[in-house]
Structure 1
Amino acid sequence: MAIAAGPASAATSSVDLPEGMTASYLVVDQETGRTFGDGEHQQYRSASLVKLFIALDYLESHGPDHEIPADDLALLEPMLRSSNDDAASTLWVRDGWDEIVKRMVTKLGLTDTAPPAARGKWGYTAISAADIAKTYQYILHEANPKYRDFIMGNLAQSAKCGSDGFDQSFGLPSAVPGPKAVKQGWSGYGAAPAPGEECSETDADVLRVLRSPEVKAATAVASSGEGPTGAQDIDLTSRAMHTSGTVGADHGKIVVVLTLEPATLSWQDSAGRITELTRAVYRRGAL
C-alpha cells in the first residue's frame, strides 16, 4: 500500500510547535489511505531509526528460511526493543556499513534517505518522516510475513529503558493509548542520562554477547554518531528526538514524528514536548 497523497486524502493543516522546536510528522491511516502530515519530506539525522533498516536488511539478506542464531538474536532483539547501540554497530559493520542504507533505499524506493557522510556514524543517516512511514508500510505489506512478524513483534515489546540508560517512553508510548509497536531515536543528549535520571534494565545473555570480541571491534569503528564528523546536508548540532511506529492491534495507523530541539534543552523537557506534539498530531490524524 502506497502512502496516499493529494488534497482529497491528505490533511495539511499543521500543529503548533513549542518555541525553538523543528518538527516534521506524518500519520497514515492504513484502512482509508488518509494522511495527515507537515514537512514529511524534510531530512533529519536518523539517530536510532536507522535500526529499522539494519534489522530489515539482515532479514532480507539471509532469506525467510534462515533460523536466526541465538547470538544474532541477542543483537537484533535489544537493538529493536531497547535501542542498543553496540548491537547496531556490530550488525552495521558486519553487513556492509553504508551499503545497508543504499540497499534499503533501492529496495523500498526511498526518496529522502541517504547514507551518512562518515560511514561509521550510522546515526547520521539522512531520513524523512515520509520514508520512515514507507518503511513501515513495506514491512507490514510487502516484506515476507516472517520479517514482518519478527520486526513488529519486537517493536511491540519496546522497553521503557534504552540500553544507554535513557527513558525511551516519550512520544508514542506515552501519548497514544492502545497497542503499539514503537521504534524511538535520539541524538545529542550525551552518552548517559543526568545523575538521578537513569533508567536501567539488563539481560544476562544479551550482556554476554555484547562483551564479545566482534562487538568490541565493531564499536571501536562504528557508532550512533555522537561527536564530530564531516560535512553533511542535515542538522547534526541540534538535539534530535524521534518517535515512530504503529498504533492498534492490526497496526491500523502509522505515526512518525521527527524533532530537533535546542542544545540547551534537557532530556526531560524534550521528552515532554515531543509527547505533547505526538498527542496532538495523532488526534489530528485520527479525525
Structure 2
Amino acid sequence: MARYTLHEVAEAGVKADAGHTMPARFVFAVPSARTVVAASLIAAQVLVAASVGAVVCGPVGADAPRPAANSLLVAPSGPMSGDYPFAALTAAQAAATGVGGLDLDVGILDLRTGVSAFSTSAPVPMFAASLAKVILIVDVVDRRREEGLPVGDTDLELMRRALGPSDDLAMNELWTRFDGQGAAPRVSTRLGLSGTAAPADPTYWGQMLITAADLTAVYRHILTMPNADRDLIIGALAAAPAVATDGFAQDFGLLGPRTVGIAVAKQGWMCCGEDGRTAYLHSAGLVGDDGRFVVVLLSRQQFEQDWQLQKDRLSAVADAVHDVLDTAATMH
C-alpha cells in the first residue's frame, strides 16, 4: 500500500512527519444557511457559465525557475477594458505588494460576461496542497459520468469529507481507489490545461502542480456539470466547517472574517517545501451574492510557525478583491 504524508499541518504549525496521518475528527452537521443559499444562487450562473468562455493563459513549463518574491505580479493577460476581473486583479496585486512576503498567482473570471484576468501569461506552477482534492474529485465524477466508472455511496461521502472539512484520510482513500496519480493528466487533457501536473512522487498528492488560470477553468467546468455532479462539489464546499479535520482554522482568504454575502471556496495549506521554510496557502472558489465570480488565489510564502502571518497576507489580498467585486452587486 502506498505511504501518504499528511500535507496539511495543524493550527499549531507542527510539521507532519513522513507517513504520519492525524485521526479523523469529522462530525456531520446540519447544512448551514450559507450552504442552502449558495446552492440556489450559484445555480443561477450555470447557464451563463455554459455559454461563455474563459481566457486561459498559454503553456508553462513545470521546471521553470522559482521566482523571487512578488515576481508573478506583472501586467495581467486577458481583457483590460475596465471590467471587474481586471480591476479586482489590479487591487489584488496592489494589496500583495503592500503586505509583501508572498509570491501570488491570481485568476478571476466573471461568469456573467466570460471576461477573465490572470496575473501572468506564464505562471510558475505551485504545489496544490489540498486543491489537489478538487482536481481528483472532478476527475472521478467526470469518469463516472462519461466512462461508467463505479462510484459508490461510500466514495461520495469520502469526496464530501475531502472537500468541506478537508479530510486528508478521505483523500488518501480516494487517491488509492481512483488512480490519483493519473487525475491531473486526465483533467488537463479533458479541459486543455497547461500548468497542472501530477506530483513527482505519487505518495505526496499535495505536491500536484497547479496554476490559477487552470483552476479557474476547472471551476467553470464544475458549474457546467449535470446538477448532481455540480451540487456534490459545490454543496460540499459550501458546507465547509470553520475548522478543518486536522484542526486548521479555514477562516482566511475568500473565507476570511471580511467576507460578506456568498463565498464558496476550497482552502489549501501545506508546509514546508523542499527547503523546509516554504509554506503554500491557497483559497479558490466562487464569490458574489449570486456566485458570479470565480476567484483563485494561490500563494507561496515563508513558513511561520503559527500560520497567522501567512493567513493575514492572503486575507488582505482577498479583501482587496472583495472590495472590487462587491460593487458588482450594486451596479448590476
The TM-score range, normalised by the shorter chain, is 0.7 to 0.9
Measure, in 2, the Cα distance between the counterparts of 1:70 and 1:113. 28
Shift of 1:236: 8.0
SS in 1 for 2:175: helix
Q: What are the within-5 Å matches in structure 2 for residues 217-228 of structure 1?
A: none
Aligned mate of 2:247, from 159, 165, 172: 165
Aligned mate of 2:216, from 130, 133, 142: 133
Unaligned runs of 5+ in 2: 1-51, 56-77, 328-332
Shift of 1:183: 0.5
**Deviation per residue, 1:182-209 (Å, 9 max, x gap):** 11100016xxxxxxxxxxxxxxxxxxxx
Shift of 1:249: 5.3
Q: In the alignment, does 2:304 pair up with 1:264?
A: yes
**Deviation per residue, 1:207-246 (Å, 9 max, x gap):** xxxxxxxxxxxxxxxxxxxx76xxxxxx985101000100
**Deviation per residue, 1:97-149 (Å, 9 max, x gap):** 311111111111111111111111111011011111100001112x2232111
The one-letter amino acid of 2:299's match is T
Aligned mate of 1:15, from 75, 82, 94: 94
Shift of 1:67: 9.0
Shift of 1:247: 1.5
- Structure 1 vs Structure 2: percent identity of aligned residues? 29
**Deviation per residue, 1:166-192 (Å, 9 max, x gap):** 001211112331122211100016xxx
**Deviation per residue, 1:70-109 (Å, 9 max, x gap):** 4223311110101111111111111113111111111111
Shift of 1:35: 3.0
SS in 2 for 1:28: strand
Aligned mate of 2:113, from 32, 48, 51: 32
* TM, length-normalised to structure 2: 0.67
- Partner of residue 63, structure 1: 145
* TM, length-normalised to structure 1: 0.77
RMSD of aligned Cα (Å): 2.5
Shift of 1:16: 3.4
Go from structure 1 to structure 2 and tell me whether the alpha carbon gap of 1:266 and 1:37 turns closer, same or farther (over 3 Å shift).
Answer: farther
Shift of 1:156: 1.1
Measure, in 1, the Cα distance between the counterparts of 2:150 and 2:181. 25
Aligned length, in residue pairs: 243
SS in 2 for 1:266: coil
SS in 2 for 1:261: strand
The one-letter amino acid of 2:162's match is M
Aligned mate of 1:2, from 39, 48, 53: 53
Go from structure 1 to structure 2 and tell me whether the alpha carbon gap of 1:131 and 1:263 turns closer, same or farther (over 3 Å shift).
Answer: same
The one-letter amino acid of 2:94's match is V
Measure, in 2, the Cα distance between the counterparts of 1:272 and 1:16. 11
Measure, in 2, the Cα distance between the counterparts of 1:35 and 1:285. 13
Task: Indicate if the aligned counterparts of 1:36 and 1:284 stay in contact, CA closer than 8 A.
Answer: no
Q: What are the within-5 Å matches in structure 2 for residues 80-159 of structure 1?
A: 80-141=163-224, 143-159=225-241
Aligned mate of 2:323, from 271, 283, 286: 283
- Partner of residue 246, structure 1: 286
The one-letter amino acid of 2:267's match is Q
SS in 1 for 2:113: coil
SS in 2 for 1:271: helix
Measure, in 1, the Cα distance between the counterparts of 2:326 and 2:117. 9
Measure, in 1, the Cα distance between the counterparts of 2:189 and 2:269. 25
Q: In the alignment, does 2:313 pair up with 1:273?
A: yes
Go from structure 1 to structure 2 and tell me whether the alpha carbon gap of 1:32 and 1:104 turns closer, same or farther (over 3 Å shift).
Answer: same
Task: Indicate if the aligned counterparts of 1:76 and 1:87 stay in contact, CA closer than 8 A.
Answer: yes
Q: What are the within-5 Å matches in structure 2 for residues 181-192 of structure 1?
A: 181-188=264-271
The one-letter amino acid of 2:53's match is A
The one-letter amino acid of 2:220's match is Q
SS in 2 for 1:240: strand
Measure, in 2, the Cα distance between the counterparts of 1:96 and 1:67. 13
Go from structure 1 to structure 2 and tell me whether the alpha carbon gap of 1:236 and 1:7 turns closer, same or farther (over 3 Å shift).
Answer: farther
